[in-house]
Structure 1
Amino acid sequence: MSDNLKSLPLVFEPPRGRGKPPRHLADLTAEERTEVVTSLGEPAFRGKQVAAHYFSRLERDPAGMTDLPASSRDKIVEALLPPLLTSVRTMEADKGTTRKTLWRLFDNALVESVLMRYPDRATICVSSQAGCGMACPFCATGQGGLERNMSTAEIVDQVVDAAGAMARGDVAGGPGRLSNVVFMGMGEPMANYKAVIGAVRRMVAPNPDGLGLSARNIVVSTVGLVPRMKQLATEGIPVTLALSLHAPDDELRNELVPINTRWSVNETVEAAWEYATLTGRRVSIEYAMMRDINDQAWRADLLADVLLSFGGGTDRPGSWVHVNLIPLNPTPGSKWTASRREDEREFVRRLEAKGISTTVRDTRGSDIDGACGQLAAADG
């Protein structure tokens, strides 16, 4: 762990005293799975057999694994497939194409994931922590505080469940394929770095050792933990990095994203630019539009200037980055509201005039509190 991360406030560390989630095959490498089954007196191929059920056939219920011998199925399942996520409820929106699931973990911690089907893709938004310690005041998750980190397998299990739902045709539109994963659910992914990277590796590993997803279809978001952003650039996994910036100036960002008091706008954007330079992957800048807070035209100009300051030396200095504007989603007790449409349009116009590719996010699931910034894992 770097010195920078060692000095982070205690909010980065989950409360002590909790037990660890049970070991699951998604936590293990192929070699480790083999060691587990052989230690049970089973042939080595059983490890690959169980992994094929889980990662290739998207089977999470041991009862469906009928090719495992009845005499040894229970002990194999106990060792490799303990239950991780228990569905508390599922809510639907957008004519059944958006599904938010509330999960109860082994220790009664609650997390949420959101599956969204579009005409050309299906995306699961996963949680990486129970709660969040970043304390961004406009985000429902951040206001709840951090409960604990999730394990690699707890993260992966959300994806396997979603992929299975798509394959079975449980989502409106009939059977299909899960194609995209975004780490934009509950938690700060970079504050649970080891488990998140482990989960990404399971997602991109080919069947039967993983889900065989394209790394280019995986988005890892962060509010700006600079050392971890730099570390991600060295992993050799070409995921998309999404930086939740929300303000182009330190004065406002200190209020909206408290971690900015540790790493400034300039330092954070520089780390994002380094990621783009090292990986060749365009970075996404996430910017929640808040009425009369961060949506002024001059802030659009300043945002463009900050981003362009790192793209010099090329014919298209803004080509390393894409700005994704997010209409603010309402949360209980929030003093902020979404920007006016005319202010949103002017913000887009000014960014594009300076050569910054910009889109406005299509908000999904806001009526079931499943949109960006709304996940709070309320049981009731």
Structure 2
Amino acid sequence: MSTEAVAVSAVSDAQQHTPSAPAQEKTVEKVNLLGMSRPQMEKFFEDMGEKKFRAGQVMKWIHQYFVTDFSEMTNISGKLREKLEKICKIKAPEVVHKNFSKDGTRKWVFRVGDGEGSLVETVLIPAEDKTGSRKTLCISSQVGCALDCSFCSTGKQGFQRDLTQAEIIGQLWMANYSYMEDVPIADRERSVTNVVMMGMGEPLLNYDAVLNSMRIMLDDFAYGMSKRRVTLSTSGVVPKIDQLAEDIDVALAISLHATNNELRNELVPINKKYPLEQLIAACQRYIKKDGNESARKHVTIEYVMLDGVNDKPEHAQEMIKLLKDLPSKINLIPFNPFPHAPYGRSSRNRIISFQKTLSDAGFVCTIRQTRGDDIDAACGQLVGQVADRTRRAEQWKKKIAQSNEIMRSQG
């Protein structure tokens, strides 16, 4: 197979690029190796007539030493390096904005796609725990989001497209690289300890790209992360939760935010398709799946605290009943307001009281510490300020203004 044919074949297999240019232009889009899982890269090298172990070598250079120049891959022959340089590239999404908070939180806005492209966000949150220094990266999986949860800034921007594997894993690559940009190659080491697929978009609606990206995160030739330290968060796409249980063993988080179907239909509209009874049953199946390992001992419940909406004593009691048969840890999240948001943040006293009710009932319940307020670290906020490419946000703001006007007129 010719070099150009190999490149075209690899593009199709890895689904990282648009089709190559017409033959008469005699140009072929370079294959981005950044987003290839090990099986995909092994096939790529075998199609080139090379041994598949080359995949592991190249993956280490990319994901462990953060090298993008093939000439620096010293354990690969010069001939192969020249061949790779002609048909391949290692390219992370373009950083168009970055901001590092005084509390250690880091945030990036990436441009994805050609031309002006689209924007997505990534946030890194440092913390200290019993294992030492922890750096958790919140990764986006889509440009915008189609689910339109009523309290979510990202949902107000509409849905544009899924991210590719290179665009997803590129966020992890760049976050690590930010700590070692000026460090000699031989001294570089991975800094990010935890990943949560909890950024912009619904990960289970971009299933294949997210699955292969998480496989790269777990791969010892790449980031070598523990299964317990890679978490996928979903709003409740029930069939895909079952599929995830078959395909990979990672931690599961549920964006719950309401304890009864009526309220959740309002806050998380996908609940109309997959109500709470189905969602909780899917979580139970995920935990009980044969081959269960440490990553599946419990499900993390994410619960944004909205003032006067879902933070009342009766909601805490409903949660106790809802989760009584589901091994879970509950994470209460103070709402991070954004412009024109129709909700407010629950008071500190209300959140603490809610936590105490759940803790007294035997649940492990924590309150997420707010971080990066000085850099708009809540997902979707900065992109919403930089670019709104749909009319959804405009329509939504108009609806809020109309509601406020009605309230004023009614006294």
How does the TM-score come out when normalised to structure 2? 0.77
Question: Does the CA-based 8 Å contact 1:58-1:164 persist in structure 2?
Answer: yes
Q: 236, 240, 254: which is aligned to 1:243? A: 254
**RMSD (Å) for aligned C-alpha atoms:** 2.7
Query: Within 5 A, what are the aligned runs for 1:369-380?
Result: 369-372=376-379, 374=381, 376=383, 378-379=385-386
Larger radius of gyration: 2
Distance 1:154 1:377, change over 3 A: farther
What is the aligned partner in structure 1 of residue 140 from structure 2?
127
Shift of 1:29: 4.4
- Rounded to whole Å, the distance in 1 between the matches of 2:190 and 2:37 is 28
Deviations 1:118-141 (A, max 9, x none): 232111111111111110121111
Unaligned runs of 5+ residues in structure 1 are: 1-17, 312-319
Query: Within 5 A, what are the aligned runs for 1:1-380?
Result: 19=18, 23-30=31-38, 32-37=40-45, 46-62=54-70, 64-65=72-73, 73=81, 75-77=83-85, 79-95=87-103, 97-107=104-114, 108-119=117-128, 120-167=133-180, 177-207=191-221, 210-237=222-249, 239-278=250-289, 279=292, 280-308=296-324, 310-311=325-326, 320-372=327-379, 374=381, 376=383, 378-379=385-386
Shift of 1:73: 4.2
Shift of 1:80: 3.6
Shift of 1:220: 0.3
- Rounded to whole Å, the distance in 1 between the matches of 2:39 and 2:342 is 52
Shift of 1:64: 4.6
Letter of the 1:346 partner, please give it: S
Letter of the 2:59 partner, please give it: A
Letter of the 2:122 partner, please give it: S
How does the TM-score come out when normalised to structure 1? 0.83
Letter of the 2:285 partner, please give it: E
Unaligned runs of 5+ residues in structure 2 are: 1-16, 20-28, 388-411
- Rounded to whole Å, the distance in 2 between the matches of 1:91 and 1:333 is 23
Letter of the 2:320 partner, please give it: A
- Rounded to whole Å, the distance in 2 between the matches of 1:36 and 1:176 is 26
Which range is displaced more, 36-45 or 122-131? 36-45
Question: Does the CA-based 8 Å contact 1:275-1:281 persist in structure 2?
Answer: no
Letter of the 2:113 partner, please give it: F
State how many pairs are aligned.
347
What is the aligned partner in structure 1 of residue 22 from structure 2?
none
- Rounded to whole Å, the distance in 2 between the matches of 1:339 and 1:60 is 46
- Rounded to whole Å, the distance in 1 between the matches of 2:118 and 2:67 is 24
Q: Percent identity?
A: 35
Which range is displaced more, 248-257 or 369-378? 369-378
- Rounded to whole Å, the distance in 2 between the matches of 1:189 and 1:266 is 21
Question: Does the CA-based 8 Å contact 2:124-2:137 persist in structure 1?
Answer: yes
Distance 1:79 1:144, change over 3 A: same
Question: Does the CA-based 8 Å contact 1:140-1:375 persist in structure 2?
Answer: no
- Rounded to whole Å, the distance in 1 between the matches of 2:309 and 2:299 is 24
- Rounded to whole Å, the distance in 1 between the matches of 2:154 and 2:71 is 35
Question: Does the CA-based 8 Å contact 1:98-1:116 persist in structure 2?
Answer: yes
